[in-house]
Every structure is written in C-alpha cells, then in structure tokens.
Structure 1
Amino acid sequence: MALTPKQKIFADEYLIDFNATRAYKVAYPKVKKDEAARANGSRLLTNANVASYIDKRMKDREKRTEITQDRVLQELAKIGFADVTDFVTIEGHSVKVKTTDQMPRDKLGAIAGIKEGANGIEIKLNDKEKALELIGRHLGMWNDKVELSGEVKTNNPYEGLTTEELKKLIHGG
C-alpha cells in the first residue's frame, strides 16, 4: 500500500533531522500543539508503510553518500584507539612530533589539529572519551533507557466493577 501525500511529507521531513514532532507539524499544519504532534508523529513512525519508506530512503542515502555505520565506526575507532605515541616520540624529557609518513595512516583521523605553540609544535587529538562512548552505545554496552516487562498482579477487590457499581459503593447505595 502506498503512502498518503501527508504521510510522504511527514517521512521526507523526518529524514531531514529525525524530529518526528517537527515533521508531523509540517505535514499536518493544523496541529499546533507539540504534545499532539509528538504523539501522532511517534505513531506514524510505527506505521508499516511509513517505516518501510523511511528505511528505503535511508538505504538509498547510504548508497549515494557511501556513509555507512561501518565507516562511522571506523572513524570513531581511529579516535578511540589512538595513542599519543602514534604521533610523537618521547625521549627522556624531550617530545618530538613524528613526520606524517612516520604516523600510522589509519590513525591520522584522530588528529584534530596541529599548530605552532609557545612550547613548539602542538598536536590536539579529537575527544577519545566521546568516541569510545559512542562506540559503546552502538555496541549496546550501556543503555540510558530502562525497559520493564512482566505482569502487574493485584488483589484489587474492586477490579471488574462498573462505574455505577463503584459509585454505589462510595455513596453507600
């Protein structure tokens, strides 16, 4: 089944910044409240046709740009697993910057910048901790969301009573 024109607008807008609330408000401009747009946008994302369309467009973009999860992880790994000694040699109290041909090619992406400073050449590396955090999140090593499952069992003596029956109990009727 094909998307409705509004569903297509929603999905195309969602692909811009992955903000379902904003995308819903663009597709359905009469909806002014963020709360309603958030709930309806979230619901639309679970619609099989919308989800399939978004998935296809994302795969098309991945092919077109050649930006894949693997490439992103490889770049994060360069940063996360780089060591300062990949870029400098330490001899006694002396630190010398290696020439780029002496540095591992696969680690060059870890360098944020090189400049002449007051104490000589300075190398600034990208944020190693952040890179490792992002890799860990991707691998599911830690999760900020808590998922609960199971049944809630109660011994509610009023369970199953109608509103009228409850009113009679309250008012002594």
Structure 2
Amino acid sequence: METRNVGASSTSRESSAEGKQDLLESEPTVDVGTAEAEVELATGKVGERRHAAALSASAGAGAAALIGAGLGIISLTGTWAGRVAAERQNLIGQIESSRGGSPAQHISRIYGDAWHLTAVVNGTFAVLALLLGILVLARQAFGGSNRPQPVWMRSFAWAAVTLGTLGLAISGVLYTDIVASLPTTGTR
C-alpha cells in the first residue's frame, strides 16, 4: 500500500506557485515589436522581407528604365499626340491666315507653328526619357539598395539617357529652325 504525504505536496505546490509568481514579477516587460523582430530574425523572415522589398524596388527601377528607353525612342519618331497637336495648330493657322497678312505670315502660321509644336511635344517626351534614365542611374547613389543594379537595367537607363539627350537636341534644333528653316516667298 502506498502512503502519500498530503501536507508536503500542498506545501511544495504553494512554494512552486509563489516561485512562478516571483518569476513573472521579476521578468522585464518585453516589447511585442521587439519580440516579433527577434522571432523573425531567428526564423529568417527578416531576410525574406528585405529580399522582397529589394525585388520590388528593383522591379520598379527596371520598369522606369524600360519606359525611359521607350520614351526616348518615341521622342525621336514622334507620337500620335504630337501629330494631332500639329494638325490642330495647322487648322488654327489656316483660320488666322484667312484674315489676311503677307505670304511669309501665312507660311509661318500654317506650317511654322505646327512644326514648332511638334518639336515641343517630342522634346517633352525626350525630357521625360532623360529624367527617368538619370533617376534610375542615380538611385543607387541616393538611398537605393546596397546591391548593384542588374546590367540590363543600367543598359536601359543609359539608353534612356542617350535617346532622351538626342531627342532633346533634335527637338531644339527643329524648334529653332537651325537645320530646316521655313521656306521663304522671295519677297521681304
């Protein structure tokens, strides 16, 4: 037959409960955010989050570089919006020319203003391409990730800068009539 010492076990339970209470009171309070960060650090989730954030930023920079290169090409070839604006300016020039004026004024109103507006629209696309390319290239220097950008991203960003610069130069030359000036009537 087994005998139990009931008094001893209740005393040990009471001392055990008091010990737990003392332990709970003596533990420092833990910030939930810190505890979660420690768990993430221990399980490797911090690295996953940083990697996901870096991929997201990298995807955005890659898209900006690609769009910048596309805008650079558009600045060289022209756009539908530029064509519509030029046609509208041509119509306005015809309406203004119907009121009278010299032949040189007619040419300037009908063709020159539309030509200059096309140069302005294409120049705007060139500036956008140039800015996107510069922003992608400068992202690393101004708070970007510590990881180097992929080669394809830098290539598209440099293409955007180059095509944007070329498009801006051509638009400036066309706007100022340096290369192709308006035809003259022979009379002054």
- Decide: shared fold, TM above 0.5: no
Name the one with the larger helix percent: 2
TM-score range, shorter chain: under 0.3
**TM-score, normalised relative to structure 2:** 0.25
Specify which structure has the higher proportion of strand: 1
Higher relative contact order (CA 8 A, sep 6+): 2
